[in-house]
Structure 1
Amino acid sequence: MTSDDRTAAKVASSELEREREAELENESALTPEEMLKLVEEQQGEMARKQLAPIPWMLGVWGVAWLVGFLLLWSAAPASNSPVSIPGPVAGIGFGVLIGAAIAASTVLGIRIDRGVQGNSSFAGAVYGISWGLCGTAFGAVGVALMNNGMSYELATLYYPSAFALMAGTLYVAGAALWHQKSMLVLGIILLVTGSVSPFFGAPTNNLVMALLGGSTMLFMAILAAVRLRRKA
């Protein structure tokens, strides 16, 4: 028997096995209860895959928020920080961290509904892109205000609050899209943090942002990861 004959025999045997398996599946049809259970398991698996990026998104922002705002606070002479960091280094570090968090959120937001067709996929893509668009818009407004006379002291109050309000609004929107209570709670906390922190003045507002905003994000990231693992 030639190699071609053996290959053809293997293909024919595989086709026969698939036909037998199909016949056995038809003979052992699932009951309505079993079908319902199978559908629920498939839906649960799809939901877990869709929501898997959320803990990463929360964790990325938590690290960026905590470290970034601590850098800004440590760079201020009036902060009484045990570690003194040069202002330019803190500013560049903060910008890099927030930029990286926005980029990561854009990618992760798009991936949330990857593989899902229709409105859900569109919603995930728009949500991911919104992080970059909103971050750019809030930053541009700050630059425009400074060009029109806003002082450095006011800018140190504007930028932290602006990004907190941006992130809080987007997390609330994400909670509405994916029915995630943890995202809703985090969004509300960030909105409150962004609204209240300017009353503490600079540089204490940065410390409030780091401890309240950053710590809450990290806690929510761990909570979301644990919940997804329990559903697995």
Structure 2
Amino acid sequence: MNENLSGDAREMLDLIDGQQRRVDRGLRIPVVWLYTVWAVAWLVGFLALYFAQLGLFDPVAAGIVFAVLIVGSIVASAVIGSRIGRGVRGDSQFAGTVYGVSWSVCSVAFALLGIGLIAEGMPGDLAGIYFPSAYALMCGTLYLAGAAVWHDRLQLVLGLALLVVGAVAPFLGLGPNLLLMAVAGGVVFGAGALVTLRTLSPQR
């Protein structure tokens, strides 16, 4: 009888373990897509702006490409984020909601700051340095916040990397700073996608 009870307990633990792995996998797969979407947006978007700066691409078209990619990424993030948070309740739901809203609120705040600086006489070349670095610093800071909330070391590393990129880029001047953003964004977010993909627990 004890052997039967022991066997039932093992089966129950295996069942719970399997369910936990499926839940974990279900939460992590959307994160892979999030990182991938942003990797493509930063790489292609900033390359378009860089080529426009070199005179190899129409500036208006480059601006449209960049805007479409960034707005599309924000929309995709909102949709994927809502799916990740579906079914979550309590403090985790509140933290996730505040964190998600923070991206939109901070984006608008940094944009308004830049527009205000332009209205006060900031030249276009300087604006081309301000906006990329401002958003890199914003993303880095929010990733640090995410790392603190969810105890996620990957977000900690990505956040620190983006902070370094945002702080260093202005010293390169307009043009090279855009190339740095393109390469660094593709590498940082792409690495995040690959690392998250590798941590997915195999299903039994």
TM-score range for the pair, normalised by the shorter chain length: 0.7 to 0.9
In the other structure, the counterpart of 1:113 is 85
Deviation at 1:38, TM superposition (A): 3.4
Equivalent residue number for residue 153 of structure 2: 181
CA shift for structure 1 position 120: 1.3
Which whole-Å CA distance do the structure 2 matches of 1:192 and 1:231 have between them?
34
Counterparts of 2:12 and 2:85, CA distance in 1: 25
* Count of aligned pairs: 200
Q: Give, in whole Å, the separation in 1 of the partners of 2:149 and 2:27.
A: 12
Say if 1:130 and 1:104 are closer, same or farther in 2 by CA, change over 3 A. farther
**Which of these two proteins has the greater Rg computed from alpha carbons?**
1
Which residue is 1:46 aligned to? Answer: 23
Alignment check: 8 A CA contact 2:28 2:196 kept: no
Please give the residue correspondences for 1:64-213 in structure 2 after superposition, counting only pairs within 5 Å: 64-77=41-54, 84-213=56-185
- Note the aligned Cα RMSD (angstroms): 2.2
Q: Which residue type is aligned with residue 142 of structure 2?
A: L
Shift of 1:33: 4.6
1:57 counterpart residue number: 34
**Higher RCO (C-alpha 8 Å, min separation 6):** 2
Tell me the TM-score normalised to structure 1 length.
0.78
TM-score by length of 2: 0.87
- Mind listing any 5+ residue stretches in structure 2 that lack a counterpart? none
| TM-superposed deviation, 1:54 | 0.9
Report the Cα distance in structure 2 between the residues aligned to 1:75 and 1:160, rounded to whole angstroms. Answer: 15
Unaligned runs of 5+ in 1: 1-26
1:132 is displaced (CA, Å) by 1.7
Q: 1:75 to 1:180 in 2, by over 3 A?
A: same
Identity of aligned residues (%): 47
